[in-house]
Structure 1
Amino acid sequence: MLRNARLHRLKPINGLLNIARLHSGHRSQAMPVHHLRSFSADEENLRTLFDEPQSQLKKFESFDINAGFLMVPGLKGPTDLIDFSNKCLEKSHILLKRILTDGAEGKELNKIVKLLDVLSDTLCQAIDLSEFIRTSGVSPAFSRAAEQVYERMFEFMNILNTSEELYQLLLHIKNRPDIWNSLDNEEKMVADILLYDFEKSGVNRGHHTRKQFIELSNRIDNAGRDFVMNAYPEKDSITLPVSQLSGIDPSVQSKLPIKRGYATVPTTGPIAHHIMSTADNADTRRELWLADRKTSDRQVSRLETLLKTRAELAQTLGFQSYGEYQLRDKMAKSPRAVKRFLQNMAKAFRPLAVSELQTLAAATNAPGRIEAWDRDYYLHKMISQSNSRTSNMDLLSSYLSIGTVMVGLSKLFNSLYGIRLVPGSMQQFETWDDSVCRLDVISENDERIGMIYCDLFSNNFKSQGPAHFTIRCSRRILDDPIESDYGSRNPLSLSVSSSGELHQLPTIVLVCGFNKSPTGLTLLSFYETETLFHEMGHAVHSMLGQTNLHNVAGTRSATDFVELPSILMEHLVSAPAVLQSFARHHRTNKPPSLELINAFKARRTEHLANCETYTQIMMAQLDQIFHSECANDPAFDSCSIYFDLQCQMGLYKPVPENRWHTYFTHLFGYGATYYSYLLDRAIASKIYTHLFEKDPLSREAGEKFANEVLKWGGSRDPWECVAGALDSPELSNGDDSAMLEIGSFANSKTVSQV
């Protein structure tokens, strides 16, 4: 009953883009200037909102009791969150009683799926909200309350997922042709999804198994969060001789505590990264690299507890592995299909990655083979040499103020889909930080179709990377007394269709960690711009994927399909026509020249893109191994498995002490599905070439993609969506040949950075 509330961008593993960021004018600062712009009034308001935060554009309005955090009525503090969750639980129990009573009496059986969907939405109102609060640094007190709410609601959700009465009721409806045939396709899809979720929860395997499922699910959730919260090195600093720090910037060295000729160096963070990139001494780099990858035995145990508990859950439910358990309802369908996909990709990318390292060594006169701890140093050296000849990397950022990029997103959405972003006037208590803004998504008919809260700047509480959080999904409000509470909701969170139907509007939060410029005008690197476009790809999926039922709305779709719209946005922002449509120099108001854009794109190829992709392939393979049958072995040893993988696939000399896998937190959020990003990148590239390459601003292409992919949310088989977008009906079956066909899309042009 709970699907894809939070989506994180799967960031590059090795941090190579951090090297590029040292040379890219990252977070350049400049005094804002006033000038004429070729933007509409709405677009100029949008730019001003982000580029001139001191303006009076964003102001609070006085409203009635509907005012509250993220438009939740009365939600103004941690205690209110507990009260809100209590109301959600109360309504859930009323719904549950109504569903079971109607089912037992055979009354209004054609409404049961709708009521189950309302039940799911009611629970997710509290779960999704608390998930956002507890992971996004709203405030410590709010986070503690959210933790309580999340655990309580999650446990109740697991109890529902193992309800034999609900399962048997749904089976009865499916086996009654008179009832089943009266349902529309969306209702049938949700019914099938819920039936499968029940079966994945062991509902058809007896009371003991159901009890085990609840216990194991709670243990997995606790173990996973424990693993993620402790993903850091065993030591937060090491001591190095000052004599071994030659090459680093003196201003950086001056920040290091020094005693008796030894400097205390942090093992993570910007200073550690700078030293890895600039220290001339190879022993210094190796020691710091190892310190960053050494973790405690306790953290190894945390990871292995997570993996073993997942394996136990899968076996309890009759599956050979957690991978098999997870993949049955995904596009890939089986670990075997994923293994073949990754093997084909590895075969294609390994020689390209090796060639990149050889080119790097030759270009920088490296003495012999480049090792893992040398890579950042020689990459920095090569980029520095290149920067002495050209400054294209620095210049492009000057065209990408955060406000200008937001205007670019609005212009692109308007060109492709006929929707635009407009600053919303907020209520008191609606947001958690002065820098947070609400954007209303407006259709060509001037109707509000959804809301996006933008929390774009770093603060002391944030810990996770860029993410898209669903707060409320779209769905139709039933014309039923059970929904009588809608009258107490904020009216801005609802809409009325032309036919008079009441709908809940999608509401999402987009979180990034950009550093705010003290001058007011924040300039983004291209990578940060790409990140913002990526997350907005999820947002537009939520806005356009408006279904009548919550369970299939927007991004509530298969894990290995949901990244497709966001990766397509990365392709679009890289198109010169798109960049030139919005990018403007913050002083001259001129667009970037085609020569500058092409030179920048050529420079990006220097940043070991194929090595990045190959490393992602390795990590996806590690994810598959960790979630295979080997996790059932009492002697399961994650460190040995990771070392063996380095020996088999690694680009560098394997190091037994390297425990980097214990920081691979996507093992929790994307367990057995980390390959999804690679799969969706291959599909997105093919769709971009097929629909958008000739004209990336084409309304015809945008409507084709919206009609075949976005508008369905998760209510259509993803293979049918892909087949429709590519005009390739042979892909619609989603069989092994379809996976092989997608694998054939995966080459250096399609999967590496666009």
Structure 2
Amino acid sequence: MTNPLLEPWTGEFDLPPFDAIRDADFAPAFEWALTEARANIAAIAGNAEPPGFTNTVEALELAEEALNRVAGVFYNLAGADSTPEREALQRDLAPKMAAFSSEVTMNAALFARIEALWSGRDTLGLSAEQSRVLELYRRMFIRAGAALDAAGRKRMAEVKERLAVLSTSFTQNLLADERDWWMPLAEADLDGLPDFVIAAAKAAAEERGQPGHVLTLSRSLVVPFLQFSLRRDLREKAYEAWTARGANGGATDNRALAAEILKLREERARLLGYDSFAAYKLEPEMARTPDAVRDLLMRVWEPARAKAMADGEVLTRMMHADGINGDLEAWDWRYYSEKRRLADHDLDEGELKPYFGLEAMIGAAFDCATRLFGLEFRPLDVPLYHTDARAWEVTRGGRHIAVFIGDWFARSSKRSGAWCSAFREQRKLGGDQRPVVVNVCNFARPAKGEPALLSWDDARTLFHEFGHALHQMLSDVTYGFISGTSVARDFVELPSQLYEHWLEVPEVLDNHARHVKTGQPMPAALRDRLLAASTYDQGFATVEYVASALVDLAFHEGAGPADPMAVQAKVLKEIGMPHAIRMRHATPHFAHVFAGDGYSSGYYSYMWSEVMDADAFEAFREAGDAFDADTAQRLEEHILSAGGSQEADALYTAFRGKMPGVEPLLKGRGLLEPAA
């Protein structure tokens, strides 16, 4: 059939022909690709030859080539640039793709071949990488239900199909709530807002075809509004709308979906013989057990809560001094915290932002990658899926390494948050396949003709996602199954969180944090005040994060709760959640946990990785140079290029020599009590 998704891609670097692809092409392409994949799987399972690594595992690696290509384009577009047609197809595909996955992983004949290979693995002459891939394939099949009896396999398939439908609905409901809410701002409503917030509100109005200015639920717009707006009533209205996503009643309410998801996850775990979904999910991670996760989180919770409570008392006094009586509320915290930051550290977001132009921060991220790993970035003029997206060829020593795509601005067709994904992964099997990696963010769009300005947090986000991109681009393995970010969930955030540290290197700021109008570098005094305040308000940030992680863990221990909101309330009461701070992600919009199960029982993983990233950057400090070549080479060899070729703790220990304790994390967040 003639379909640009299925025909050979002959453009530069074999990129998807975005300018030729239409929404109508996706459904027939998926149908054809699924048919081909099923035929390939059947041929492997039914192969009359004795099972070998080549005719079983390597054949599986290549069996879904066309399907992976089509899905890589579709799901990236569905997240970054949804349309009604794409949303409808996503709902239709959810059970079909889940059913296909079950067909493969619960194919008895296929599993028998893998078991035969596993039983005779010592006689196969496998390389270390091949042994690891075989081990992970076997683990995947068993954890998917391949070893269950026929009734168990049937029920497992039904559970997975229903979970796929529910998670898709959860995601689309959240996008609808974010897309459909906006608040017009009259001139008087702009009081106290810096020029960059006013410009972003104007750009948001233009995108929606509205006059004047509007506030949306994009984090890069609503957070600075909460920081600066003099109108406490509007801050409350905006904050409550932002935190009510997925809990507004009607067709987009996610609370019942969350309850059903948790029940089905519990059933899935029990079918496999686990006491809880948390026990099942954490078994292959670095943490291993729910108790280990809770131990880490509670060790951080107590000092973080104490710091937040003390900060809250200061902010309350500031509010009372303004003539506002009563308790400090959640919509007050950022406003008074910003005023306190200005008073204590002489830091004004309006003064800082002109030094963090988007173009400069892209350049900073690229420059650090050049100095650390020898990468070079050349802009590409190629068709992409949206006019906001931009592409670069990544090379090293003249050799093509990857294509990097950046898509940084918020828009109503894009789901919230920031993420890294790939249109194509790195692998060597079947030819040297180089990756096509994309970073997607939701930064506020500037007014027409004006430069895009980032907050300090936005700049950290850009570096964070680019750290994920480096993990994908520098991957150097034979098998796609262990390529790039295909690692333990509580290890995957290490490269991204580690890369954030380079934004705080003074010489990086001196070289790249330049005023968008004058081109002058950030004054040294301002830079030093910024770095001195790096742990400012970390009590708040840590409390809102750890509370979310503890609720996630509680959801998945024991029986799936009939009322997740009651569990959320119970956990927050037990840990003594401060009144003026709420969870970073309340249950109805907790996409990390409910929009698929990638971070379910795993939201803690950012903090688990932070224990390592704080220690990993110390390796550069110990070397006396943030760009020390030998340390960077070890980082690439043992972590960034290695993918999932070994267990995560083995990879980290190969880089650093040992696993770290929690103290560097507490120190990095300013939560470690100074020695007496």
State the match for 1:136 in structure 2.
80
Matched, 1:170 2:114: yes
Q: CA deviation at 1:174?
A: 1.4
State the match for 2:3 in structure 1.
none
* Superposition TM-score, scaled by structure 1 size: 0.75
The number of aligned residues is 633
- How has the CA–CA distance of structure 1 residues 292 and 370 changed in structure 2, closer, same or farther, with 3 Å as cutoff? same
- How has the CA–CA distance of structure 1 residues 685 and 360 changed in structure 2, closer, same or farther, with 3 Å as cutoff? same
Q: CA deviation at 1:96?
A: 1.7
Q: Distance in 2 between matches of 1:658 and 1:520?
A: 31
1:513-552 Cα offsets, whole Å, 9 max, x none, are: 2314411532333222211111110111001112110000
- How has the CA–CA distance of structure 1 residues 245 and 717 changed in structure 2, closer, same or farther, with 3 Å as cutoff? same
- How has the CA–CA distance of structure 1 residues 179 and 511 changed in structure 2, closer, same or farther, with 3 Å as cutoff? same
State the match for 1:382 in structure 2.
340
- How has the CA–CA distance of structure 1 residues 392 and 70 changed in structure 2, closer, same or farther, with 3 Å as cutoff? farther
Q: Distance in 1 between matches of 2:179 and 2:447?
A: 32
- How has the CA–CA distance of structure 1 residues 554 and 279 changed in structure 2, closer, same or farther, with 3 Å as cutoff? closer
Q: CA deviation at 1:150?
A: 5.6
State the match for 2:476 in structure 1.
546
Q: Secondary structure at the match of 1:503?
A: coil
Select the residue among 102, 117, 142 that pairs with 1:199. Answer: 142
Select the residue among 87, 105, 124 that pairs with 2:49. Answer: 105
Q: Quick check: 229-238 or 204-213, which moved more?
A: 229-238
Matched, 1:685 2:640: no
State the match for 1:258 in structure 2.
none
State the match for 1:127 in structure 2.
71
**Structure with greater contact order relative to length (CA < 8 Å, sep ≥ 6):** 1
Q: Distance in 1 between matches of 2:358 and 2:222?
A: 28
- How has the CA–CA distance of structure 1 residues 698 and 561 changed in structure 2, closer, same or farther, with 3 Å as cutoff? same
State the match for 2:41 in structure 1.
96
Letter in 2 for 1:472: R
Q: Secondary structure at the match of 2:267?
A: helix
Letter in 1 for 2:392: L
Q: CA deviation at 1:216?
A: 0.5
State the match for 2:389 in structure 1.
436
**Aligned 8 A contact 2:99 2:157 in 1:** yes
State the match for 1:452 in structure 2.
404
- How has the CA–CA distance of structure 1 residues 508 and 288 changed in structure 2, closer, same or farther, with 3 Å as cutoff? closer
Select the residue among 98, 103, 116 that pairs with 1:159. Answer: 103
Q: Distance in 2 between matches of 1:683 and 1:674?
A: 16
Q: CA deviation at 1:65?
A: 6.7
Letter in 2 for 1:463: R
Q: Distance in 2 between matches of 1:590 and 1:248?
A: 27
Q: Secondary structure at the match of 1:469?
A: strand
State the match for 1:530 in structure 2.
460
Q: Distance in 1 between matches of 2:585 and 2:435?
A: 41
Q: Distance in 1 between matches of 2:495 and 2:629?
A: 16
State the match for 1:349 in structure 2.
304
- How has the CA–CA distance of structure 1 residues 164 and 69 changed in structure 2, closer, same or farther, with 3 Å as cutoff? same
Matched, 1:229 2:172: yes
Q: Secondary structure at the match of 1:532?
A: helix
Select the residue among 651, 661, 666 that pairs with 1:747. Answer: 666
**Aligned 8 A contact 1:235 1:291 in 2:** no
**Aligned 8 A contact 1:78 1:145 in 2:** no
Matched, 1:640 2:566: yes
**Aligned 8 A contact 2:548 2:585 in 1:** no
- How has the CA–CA distance of structure 1 residues 582 and 111 changed in structure 2, closer, same or farther, with 3 Å as cutoff? farther
- How has the CA–CA distance of structure 1 residues 208 and 412 changed in structure 2, closer, same or farther, with 3 Å as cutoff? same
State the match for 1:619 in structure 2.
548
* Superposition TM-score, scaled by structure 2 size: 0.84
Letter in 2 for 1:678: M
- How has the CA–CA distance of structure 1 residues 655 and 354 changed in structure 2, closer, same or farther, with 3 Å as cutoff? closer
Q: Secondary structure at the match of 2:408?
A: strand
Q: Distance in 2 between matches of 1:80 and 1:644?
A: 48
Gaps spanning 5+ residues in structure 2: where?
A: 1-6, 203-213
- How has the CA–CA distance of structure 1 residues 439 and 361 changed in structure 2, closer, same or farther, with 3 Å as cutoff? same
Q: Distance in 1 between matches of 2:508 and 2:278?
A: 40
**Aligned 8 A contact 1:643 1:655 in 2:** no
State the match for 2:209 in structure 1.
none
Alignment root-mean-square deviation, CA: 3.8
Q: Secondary structure at the match of 1:702?
A: helix
Q: Quick check: 529-538 or 576-585, which moved more?
A: 576-585
**Aligned 8 A contact 2:544 2:581 in 1:** no
Q: CA deviation at 1:373?
A: 4.1
Q: Secondary structure at the match of 1:504?
A: coil
Matched, 1:338 2:267: no
Select the residue among 608, 619, 642 that pairs with 1:712. Answer: 642
Q: CA deviation at 1:673?
A: 0.1
State the match for 1:493 in structure 2.
none
Matched, 1:309 2:264: yes
**Aligned 8 A contact 1:416 1:701 in 2:** no
**Aligned 8 A contact 1:544 1:710 in 2:** yes
Q: Secondary structure at the match of 1:374?
A: helix
**Aligned 8 A contact 1:236 1:266 in 2:** no
The correspondence of residues 441-590 of structure 1 with structure 2, limited to 5 A, is 441-444=394-397, 446-478=398-430, 502-514=431-443, 515-519=445-449, 521-590=451-520
- How has the CA–CA distance of structure 1 residues 371 and 395 changed in structure 2, closer, same or farther, with 3 Å as cutoff? closer
- How has the CA–CA distance of structure 1 residues 517 and 725 changed in structure 2, closer, same or farther, with 3 Å as cutoff? farther
Identity of aligned residues (%): 22
Letter in 2 for 1:355: A
Q: Secondary structure at the match of 1:468?
A: strand
**Aligned 8 A contact 1:118 1:550 in 2:** no
**Aligned 8 A contact 1:423 1:440 in 2:** yes
1:147-187 Cα offsets, whole Å, 9 max, x none, are: 5456533421221111121111111011124653x221112
- How has the CA–CA distance of structure 1 residues 107 and 436 changed in structure 2, closer, same or farther, with 3 Å as cutoff? same
Matched, 1:66 2:10: yes
Letter in 1 for 2:283: R
